[in-house]
Structure 1
Amino acid sequence: MHKKYIYPFCLIFSLFLKGCSPLSMFSSGVASLDTASQERGLGNYVTDQEIKTRINVVLFEHDHLLHYKVDVNVYEGRVLLTGHVKNKRMQEDAIRLSWQVPGVKTVMNEITIEDPRTLLEYTQDKWISTKLHALLFFNKEVGSRNYEIIVSRGVVYLTGIAKDQKELNEVIYTVRTTKHVKKVVSYVRLMDAYEVRRRKIFNERKNPSPLAAKQIEHKKIIQSEKQNTLWATTDQKKEAPKTKGD
């Protein structure tokens, strides 16, 4: 097979292998629910996925081993690199190559120079990730769709957007008190005033108060009555008998 065809095939296959375990499939499914309603928006989500794919392609073409050793996560153009490599050069290459991809705003390096994870460590990390996704998903005080969780050797890295400091504290507390978590590293940013107002409007439309719900229902009834009156008037005009002069 020609070299130019081998690279894309291997890349797609390796990306699939990176996240095809049952635990990762479950956690990814929970994390990706209601993507369109994330604070970063569907457009930014798609852009982030494009950046992530481009970085993985660049890493793969530079060094197949580097691609396997480094995990890439992107949120609003902010790239988080995690994983374990065997030397400083590989770490520096991953950072340098990530910066070369269009759309990258910053690169946060959390790559460590040490031996790869054992199967036990990998399995435990997946268990922690799945557990945290479930805990945040069912926590009504947290907008879980706005957070991404990466776990490596018991260290939990958080990226995303928090409504306010109170919500972020709740998330960090949940992570810290989860079994087998050794450390929490947060790259989460707080919403600005515009985003807070936008979320408030979205929530009010999605879950209106009893008074607002009654007002909406009242408007619907009035509009329905107006429409019925219009139809009745139109029917009467059609059925009206013609005069002799007609």
Structure 2
Amino acid sequence: MTQTPTLQRFAIALTASAALAMGLGGCVPLVVGAGAVGAGMVATDRRSSGAQLDDTTIEVRGAARIREIANDNMNVTVTSYNRQVLLTGTVGAEADKRRAEEVVAKVENVRSVVNEVVVGPGSSITDRSNDAFITSKVKASLLDQKDIFANTFKVTTERGVVYLMGIATRRETDRASSITRGVDGVRKVVLLVQVVSDAELKEAASGGTGASSSSSSSSSGVPLPPMAPLPPANTGAPQAPTTAPASGGAVTSPVR
């Protein structure tokens, strides 16, 4: 029997998660975020090509900086999107958490660091495998939607907490958060999204200076300015608590 498109996409994502889980079998102090950029991704990603290259470089250099200070109780993941860095994982002491943020913040072109590292025991192989599986399910669920682009968001999972990073409108952000909360195994959703308007997206698509524009050179040290907060929709209904801040700060969205 022929598989449906949804099942085909889920199978592809599941294969990727299985490969990741196999790579996590060894005891390593560091996992580098998924920052590799393919030719097709460059064409559809809302980041500038320079920002995409910077993100890859930031993840590699951030990983090296963490490795220099790593100890047996440090397991940190470095993920960068549009030069904003997310740190997840575990460390053995509060001082290690602060130190990890300090060294990554000094990497060239990093404009901000969101430190979600937890002080406590490291995650098990089962935990990491489950996180990889959740990530694959979230990606498949986003890919199956007709009203948002799955490539708009980078997905990272740590012990059932899903982090969504991206450049998106308020509607897209709320929609992606709602979809992610409905995925089995997700405990909480954390949004690290640069919220832009539809007009800014259109300007960027037409070659203007829209949401993802900045210096196109990957060697540029000029940080991207935060987007101005969008006014609340005048619908008379209360705003959803999942709306991400334009400044890129973390907003948690508990599963209901």
In the TM superposition, residue 123 of structure 1 has moved relative to its aligned partner by: 1.5
Residues 32 and 188 of structure 1: is their aligned pair in 2 closer, same or farther, counting only changes over 3 Å?
Answer: farther
2:19 — aligned with what? 22
Following TM superposition, by how much is the alpha carbon of 1:33 offset from its aligned partner in structure 2, in angstroms? Answer: 7.8
Could you tell me whether the CA contact under 8 Å between 1:34 and 1:145 is conserved in 2?
A: no
1:57 aligns with 2:64: yes
Partner of 2:114: 108
Number of the residue aligned with 2:30: none
The one of 163, 166, 176 equivalent to 1:171 is 176
Aligned length: 180
Residues 111-155 of structure 1, C-alpha deviations (whole Å, 9 max, x = no match): 001111122221211110001111112212112112111111111
Alignment map for 1:15-94 (pairs within 5 Å): 21-23=18-20, 34-36=40-42, 37-63=44-70, 65=72, 69-94=75-100
Q: Does the 8 A contact of 2:170 with 2:196 survive in 1?
A: no
* Equivalent residue letter for 2:62: I
SS in 2 for 1:141: coil
Q: CA deviation at 1:198?
A: 3.3
User: Residue deviations 1:135-190, cap 9 Å, x none?
Assistant: 1122121121121111111111111111x211111100111011011111101121
What's 2:224 paired with?
none
CA distance in 2, matches of 1:140, 1:155: 25
Give secondary structure in 1 for the equivalent of 2:50.
Answer: helix
Alignment gaps of 5+ in structure 1: 1-18, 203-246
Larger RCO (CA within 8 A; separation ≥ 6): 2
> How far apart are the structure 2 equivalents of 1:108 and 1:91?
11
Task: Compute the displacement of 1:23 (Å).
Answer: 4.8
Identify the match of residue 150 of structure 1 among 153, 156, 172: 156
Which amino acid in structure 1 is aligned with residue 160 of structure 2?
G
Change (3 A) 1:140 1:199: farther
Cα deviation, residue 60, structure 1: 1.1
Select the structure that is richer in helix: 1
- Aligned-residue Cα RMSD (Å) equals 2.8
> Which residue identity is paired with 2:111?
K
Is 2:144 the counterpart of 1:138?
yes
**Letter paired with 1:39:** R
Change in CA separation of 1:158 and 1:194 when aligned onto 2, cut-off 3 Å: same
Structure 2: gaps (5+ residues): 1-15, 23-33, 208-256
Matches within 5 A, 1:218-229: none
Conserved? CA contact 1:75–1:159, under 8 Å? yes
Which protein is bigger by CA-based radius of gyration? 1
Counterpart AA for 1:41: S
